[in-house]
Structure 1
Amino acid sequence: MRLTTTFAALALLATPAGAQERITYKSAKAGSSYYQMGVELAEAMGDVANVTVEESQGSVQNVMEVRARGADYVFTTPPALVSAAQNAAGPFEDKGDPAFAEIRALFPIPSLTMHFVASEESGVATLSDLSGKTVLLGAGSFGAREGEKYLGMFEIDANVADAELSNAVGALQNGQIDAFVTAGSYPAPNVIEAAATTGVRLIPLTEEQVEATGRTRLVIPAGTYSGQETDIVTTSLPVLAYATSAMSEDTAYALTRAYWEGREDLAGTAAWWAGVSPEMIANASTAIHPGAVRYYQEIGVELPAL
């Protein structure tokens, strides 16, 4: 069943006859993979829901706007930021607001996945092999910050290249760097390009390294990238779609059900949707919307005790 058809049927549960659900979906900067995901969801819902995809300057902004938004607001952010907002911690220190307590999880979207990508010529097979090698991290992104943290945490004495991540594939092809670090939903476009044009190896993390980072364990399945013959254990930052308690239970149920029943169609258009499963709702660290809870219970998904 096509996602548009699913929403057409389910919209009748959430709206009066003849009405069209209005949703504002706010995720990321225009041109990013997460903004593109929003566009894909909006297009799938277009026949029955009037979806406005709004550009965002980041997840913190998405959460902050809960204070001024209504029942139609859906946004994406890592679960840890919702917890921080509700506890007036981190970027929300001295910015607490009662509205943050009303945030409710709906469904997971593709996670930010750490990729450590090395040229085959470099001989790099493990993180420790990066010592003495030239590694491009980029600057300002989650992947750059996380990559720098891992180099320090695991005492890897690498030469960090001073260049933008957009130059990574070309620099790897030209032998200017031995490896680069990037974070994005898999399959990541720059890793696809590198694997297709240059012999590369994805560097796995050990279970001990994953645990040390404090991040969520994730496996990039074998065959995700050209030449990748084995599963790659790495870390990730889960990302979920949220609404607030102002959204009706029927609307939250309809959106959640339609998302999962249409996920296969979405994955046929963009492969990053294939890496999402209902069980990933367990990454929610705060309350799940009652409408979403009803759907997960119907399909037998075990929910976290929150």
Structure 2
Amino acid sequence: MKFTAFITAAALAATAGAAAAETRVTYKSAKTGTSYYQMGVEIAEAVKEATAGGIIVTVEESQGSVQNVMEVRARGGDYVFTTPPALVGAAQKAAGPFKDKGDPKFDEIRALFPIPSLTMHFVMRADAGVEDISGLAGKTILLGKGSFGAREGEKYLGLFGLEGKVTLADAELSNAVAALKNGQIDGFVTAGSWPAPNVIEAAASLDVKVLSLSAEEIAATKRAKLVIPAGTYAGQDADIVTTSLPVVAYATAAMSDDAAYELTRAFWERKADLAAASAWWGGVDSDLMANIAGKIHPGAARYYKEIGWALTDAQM
């Protein structure tokens, strides 16, 4: 009887020790069903494998990047979230969507690693004869509603003198491929990680042309340049030069250096496996580190120093 009690106590002690060694993290990114939510699931699986279960990541649904940043005020050191760097800067200045909502905790936001950027795609029927952005005049385009891509697409129409010259289809972006196939629209605008599922579907269904922007047009948008390599989509025999909004995974200074180090190490060491499973990870590389405008977590910075990646003074 005493022997049994001793074994039970020892087992409980071992279980407690294992639990104490396990780090739990909440990862908040996007709505369920989106590509960015799926990325979170893939990161969670990669981190679990890379750390042999030492770090368990729970993916939590989000209503968007602004909410992700706002929750920093009430979260602790186990919180990881995704957002464009520009929104972090706005939060720290109490500007834009954070006007009159400033908080000292926003100054504690620290970057871990970049994830696939929101990439603009202007997708046209090949028989519409559109070769560049100016060719959208007189065409019927589906922008969708409420999304980053819809807002950005509308902005570009204004920037390039096309406001009032393009017929905007009154439909949801989810109907874009069907509308393109049956000739209801000449093209659609979408933003997301590349390769984009709806662009893959469109290119597989009919001849399409994804427009490139000139250097001058990209400069006018004040967005980051991004090149989608030739062959990414069916029938695409040349690179597509477009714009993107960088997206980064963040934690806060409340996260331990060791946890930030292990998360960052796990991500990059498994990145090739992630890309083999989902093509959108293929565009994530060291070049995207330049898009991190704010400070990088000291634990993550330790990993980057170990592998010889240079960080800017502003990132330190």
TM-score, normalized by length of structure 1? 0.93
Question: Are the equivalent residues in 2 in contact too, given 1:279–1:302 (CA < 8 A)?
Answer: no
**What is the CA distance between 1:300 and its match in structure 2?**
2.2
**What is the CA distance between 1:27 and its match in structure 2?**
0.3
In structure 2, the residue matched to 1:124 is: 130
Matches within 5 A, 1:1-306: 19-46=21-48, 47-156=53-162, 157-306=165-314
Name structure 1 gaps, 5 residues minimum: 1-14
Moved more, 280-289 or 214-223: 280-289
Deviation string for 1:63-99 (max 9, x for gaps)? Answer: 1111111111100000001001111111111111111
In structure 1, the residue matched to 2:9 is: none
Instruction: Provide the secondary structure at the position in 1 that maps to 2:219.
Output: helix
Deviation string for 1:274-298 (max 9, x for gaps)? Answer: 1101231221121110111111122
Question: Are the equivalent residues in 2 in contact too, given 1:219–1:233 (CA < 8 A)?
Answer: yes
Question: Are the equivalent residues in 2 in contact too, given 1:279–1:301 (CA < 8 A)?
Answer: no
CA separation in 2, counterparts of 1:136 and 1:279?
Answer: 32
Question: Are the equivalent residues in 1 in contact too, given 2:181–2:206 (CA < 8 A)?
Answer: yes
Q: Which residue identity does 1:244 align to in structure 2?
A: T
**What is the CA distance between 1:17 and its match in structure 2?**
9.0
Deviation string for 1:118-155 (max 9, x for gaps)? Answer: 01110111000110011110110000000011011101
**What is the CA distance between 1:199 and its match in structure 2?**
0.6
CA separation in 1, counterparts of 2:230 and 2:22?
Answer: 42
Question: Are the equivalent residues in 2 in contact too, given 1:110–1:238 (CA < 8 A)?
Answer: yes
Moved more, 289-298 or 257-266: 289-298
Query: Percent of counterpart pairs with the same letter?
Result: 69
Q: Which residue identity does 1:105 align to in structure 2?
A: A
Moved more, 201-210 or 155-164: 155-164
Question: Are the equivalent residues in 2 in contact too, given 1:284–1:304 (CA < 8 A)?
Answer: no
Deviation string for 1:49-70 (max 9, x for gaps)? Answer: 2221100011011011111111
In structure 2, the residue matched to 1:4 is: none
**What is the CA distance between 1:48 and its match in structure 2?**
3.3
Question: Are the equivalent residues in 2 in contact too, given 1:260–1:278 (CA < 8 A)?
Answer: no
Deviation string for 1:24-50 (max 9, x for gaps)? Answer: 000001111100100111122333322
Q: Note the aligned Cα RMSD (angstroms).
A: 1.3
CA separation in 2, counterparts of 1:305 and 1:143?
Answer: 32
Instruction: Provide the secondary structure at the position in 1 that maps to 2:270.
Output: helix
CA separation in 1, counterparts of 2:179 and 2:35?
Answer: 22
**What is the CA distance between 1:249 and its match in structure 2?**
1.1
CA separation in 2, counterparts of 1:86 and 1:98?
Answer: 8
Question: Are the equivalent residues in 2 in contact too, given 1:113–1:183 (CA < 8 A)?
Answer: yes
Instruction: Provide the secondary structure at the position in 2 that maps to 1:175.
Output: coil
CA separation in 1, counterparts of 2:18 and 2:296?
Answer: 25
CA separation in 1, counterparts of 2:239 and 2:189?
Answer: 18
CA separation in 2, counterparts of 1:26 and 1:304?
Answer: 27
Moved more, 276-285 or 128-137: 276-285
Q: CA, structure 1 residues 58+17, in 2 after alignment: closer, same or farther (shift >3 Å)?
A: closer
Name structure 2 gaps, 5 residues minimum: 1-16
- Quick check: which has more Rg, 1 or 2? 2
